[in-house]
């Protein structure tokens, strides 16, 4: 980045099932909260960046125009689970480049129930597993986890510890469905989806929206927003290739299949850009729609050696009071996963934590540096946020 970008306001519509609400209503709640948090009105916004997978640009236009017809540019991103973080990435780059001073970001989604399936097998080589009847996402993830269990001696109990941690935090998160906390045994006994994954090791699709206001340093200072602003210290992106069986955290690079390779590479770029390393990261929001995702990310981001991700969670290092807290709001497993909203919800949570506004889920020790990791089919985005 040639310049700087700051998150000056964030907002969210509680994740869950909202059959009676439209995408416009969900997004409007999140945007109104972000504007209020930033202390500005919509008239000051110079461009809008929206992310959604199951929604068209027409919906995005209606969401923005709900706040008034000001003639600003409206940009819409459709990159599966990474739609929201792609919108955030482009907003930050536009502000850092000096093209605009104030950007609105919103990720939103309304989803049906049931399992998510893969893409079009006739056009996308990533879904060749469809020919074996394995086009539903959990089946592909389960195969990769089984490989890790074979290679590293990981156990279903390790997966259950990660899931139980998420549900414990999710029960305290006022912005999620607040499903009850569960024990490790309850996770293991919740019914098999695709071995070793049980129901409570798999995220729920849901409805929701999250928003952020991004400003330049000069504009944030001019409007009195800088004192509570969080700086976007790094933006790194990439495209995991078609051999990725982990649903995001894995990749096939240079002929070496190791889950987390692409996350390892993109995170390394972000570390270099921000001038930090793994030991400097105070908390993480990582894209883990299935138990095991957090374990893989802990390795790929350098918090523990390869093959030690399960032990990292078992030993409590990923807890709020641990070495590197991971998914402090319950993550995708407990907070829910409305695809387009997920990436911006990560920014919402990390901004609140860096401000000290985490409430019952606040990370102790005055956290200063946070990492957001969000990935979808063909797109992985990593952002490092800092409180100066």
Q: Tell me whether residue 128 is one of the annotated catalytic residues.
A: no
Contacts of 271 (CB under 8 A, 6+ apart): 234, 277, 278, 302, 384
Catalytic status, residue 287: no
d(CA 338, CA 278): 29
Identify the helix (H) or strand (E) that includes residue 7. Answer: strand 6-16
DSSP one-letter string for 20-62: T--HHHHHHHHHHHHHHHHT--GGG--EEEEE-SSS-HHHHHH
Task: Supply the angle between the helices 293-300 and 261-274 in degrees, to the nearest 10.
Answer: 50
- b/e map of 90-128 (b: 16 or more CB within 10 Å)? bbbbbbbeeebbbbbbbbbbbbeeeebebeeeeeeebbe
Q: ∠ CA(325), CA(330), CA(332), 5° rounding?
A: 110
Among 81, 106, 225, 286, the active-site one is 81
Q: How far is CA 79 from the centre of its chain?
A: 13
Identified catalytic residue from 130, 262, 337, 383 = 337
Q: Is residue 127 within 8 Å of residue 80, measured between CB atoms?
A: no
Cα 257 from Cα 148, distance rounded (Å): 11
Catalytic residues, which ones?
Answer: 81, 337
């Amino acid at each position: 980045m040639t310049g700087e970008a700051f998150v000056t306001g964030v907002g969210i519509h509680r994740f869950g099932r909202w059959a009676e609400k439209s995408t416009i209503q969900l997004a409007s709640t999140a945007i109104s909260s972000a504007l209020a948090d930033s202390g500005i009105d919509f008239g000051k916004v110079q461009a809008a960046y929206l992310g959604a997978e199951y929604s068209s640009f027409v919906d995005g236009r209606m969401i923005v125009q709900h706040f008034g017809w000001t003639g600003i540019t409206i940009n819409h991103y459709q990159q599966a689970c990474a739609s929201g973080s792609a919108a955030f990435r482009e907003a930050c780059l536009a502000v850092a480049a000096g093209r605009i001073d104030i950007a609105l970001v919103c990720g939103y989604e309304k989803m049906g129930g049931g399992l998510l399936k893969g893409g079009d097998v006739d056009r996308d080589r990533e879904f060749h597993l469809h020919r074996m009847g394995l086009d539903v996402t959990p089946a592909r993830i389960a195969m990769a986890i089984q490989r890790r269990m074979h290679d590293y001696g990981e156990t279903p109990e390790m997966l259950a510890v990660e899931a139980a941690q998420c549900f414990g935090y999710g029960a305290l998160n006022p912005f999620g469905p607040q499903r009850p906390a569960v024990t490790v045994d309850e996770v293991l006994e919740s019914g098999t989806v695709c071995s070793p994954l049980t129901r409570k090791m798999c995220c729920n699709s849901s409805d929701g929206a999250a928003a952020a206001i991004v400003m330049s340093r000069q504009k944030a200072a001019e409007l009195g927003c800088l004192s509570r602003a969080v700086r976007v210290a790094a933006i790194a992106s990439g495209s995991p290739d078609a051999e990725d069986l982990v649903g995001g955290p894995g990749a096939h690079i240079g002929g070496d299949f190791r889950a987390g390779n692409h996350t390892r590479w993109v995170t390394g770029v972000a570390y270099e850009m921000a001038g930090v390393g793994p030991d400097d990261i105070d908390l993480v929001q990582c894209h883990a729609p299935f138990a095991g995702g957090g374990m893989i990310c802990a390795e790929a981001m350098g918090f523990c050696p390869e093959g030690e991700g399960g032990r990292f969670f078992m030993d409590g290092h990923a807890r709020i009071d641990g070495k590197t807290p991971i998914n402090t709001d319950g993550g995708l497993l407990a907070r829910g996963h409305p695809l387009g909203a997920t990436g911006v919800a990560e920014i919402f949570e990390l901004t609140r934590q860096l401000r000290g506004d985490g409430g019952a889920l606040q990370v102790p020790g005055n956290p200063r540096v946070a990492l957001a990791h969000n990935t979808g089919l063909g797109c992985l985005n990593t952002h490092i946020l800092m409180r100066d």
